[in-house]
Structure 1
Amino acid sequence: MKLRENDICFGFLILRLMVGIVFFMAGLFKLLDYMTIVGYFQSSFAETWLPAFLVTIFAYVLPFAETILGILIFFGLLTRPALYLAGLLLVVLNFGLIVRGDGGDAKSNIPYLIIIALDIILLNYNKYSLDHLLFGMSADFED
């Protein structure tokens, strides 16, 4: 049975919406308790070899990055760069979790990394998006 293009587009939409919601909500919850989150990052990485100033910068930026990326991905605006940045953000976050000794927490992010990678692979099916509506394209089509 051959998949129809609209079915693939709708499947991509579902994956994209899920990633957008997860990122937006993760960022929003951190923003609602912003200074506590920053302090948590600083204290939980204090005993690691990671430079404290990098951990602090990451802690300050993470809630905003997650929230903005979540909105962009959810609405399908600048989808390609947003998905790339979301994937890189998760890789960096997982690196920190592993350095901190939280391999179990890092493993829980692997399904999200796989879904983001699948979204990137399927970007040409980003039909139901602001990218398509505003720019008349699903993605960067290449022959």
Structure 2
Amino acid sequence: MKEYRLGYVLARIAIGVSMFGHGLVRLPKLEGFKNHIVGSFAESMIPEILVTPFAYTLPILEFVVGVLLIIGLFTKEALVLGTMIMIALVFGSTMIENWGIIDSQLLHALIFIGLLLGIKYNHWSLDTKVNK
């Protein structure tokens, strides 16, 4: 049982660090990130009025999901939100035919889903301290 808990916490922190890092590096250059994303979607079927708020929101959501997973707080909710983010990113990637990035997005989604299915092993987390 201890090995499952250890494996769980390590996987949770690893995916959390990935999300945290994605958000962290984009937040200081949010306007430039937004401009890049809007430019990437200029020829897609998705209108700019939808792309712009998503581009502003994505780094914040990545950062928050990352922090929550690293500390193990609201883990279930963070995993669901992380999966929803990946679904949106996969959809967006298909709309601009960026096939090369979809593997990474799907891998992130599978890790989120795997952690969600194994949530009973989320022993080393703030969730267990708060819910006592």
Normalised by the length of structure 1, the TM-score is 0.89
Choose from 91, 101, 125 the match for 1:95.
91
Determine if the alignment matches structure 1 residue 48 to structure 2 residue 49: no
Structure-2 residue corresponding to 1:29: 25
Q: Which has the larger radius of gyration?
A: 1
Give RMSD over aligned pairs: 0.8
Q: What amino acid is the match of 2:52?
A: T
Gaps of 5+ in 2: none
Structure-to-structure mapping, 1:1-143, within 5 angstroms: 5-136=1-132
Q: Which has the higher helix share?
A: 2
Aligned pairs, number: 132
How many angstroms apart in 1 are the aligned matches of 2:105 and 2:65? 16
Gaps of 5+ in 1: 137-143
% same residue: 30
How many angstroms apart in 2 are the aligned matches of 1:48 and 1:86? 24
How many angstroms apart in 1 are the aligned matches of 2:88 and 2:104? 14
Runs of 4+ in 1 over 6 A off after TM superposition: none
Q: Secondary structure at the match of 1:33?
A: helix
Question: Which fold has the larger relative contact order, with Cα–Cα distance below 8 Å and residues 6 or more apart in sequence?
Answer: 2
Normalised by the length of structure 2, the TM-score is 0.97
The alpha-carbon deviation at position 108 of structure 1 amounts to 2.2
Q: Secondary structure at the match of 2:44?
A: coil
How many angstroms apart in 1 are the aligned matches of 2:101 and 2:64? 23
Contact 2:20 2:67 in 1 (8 A): yes
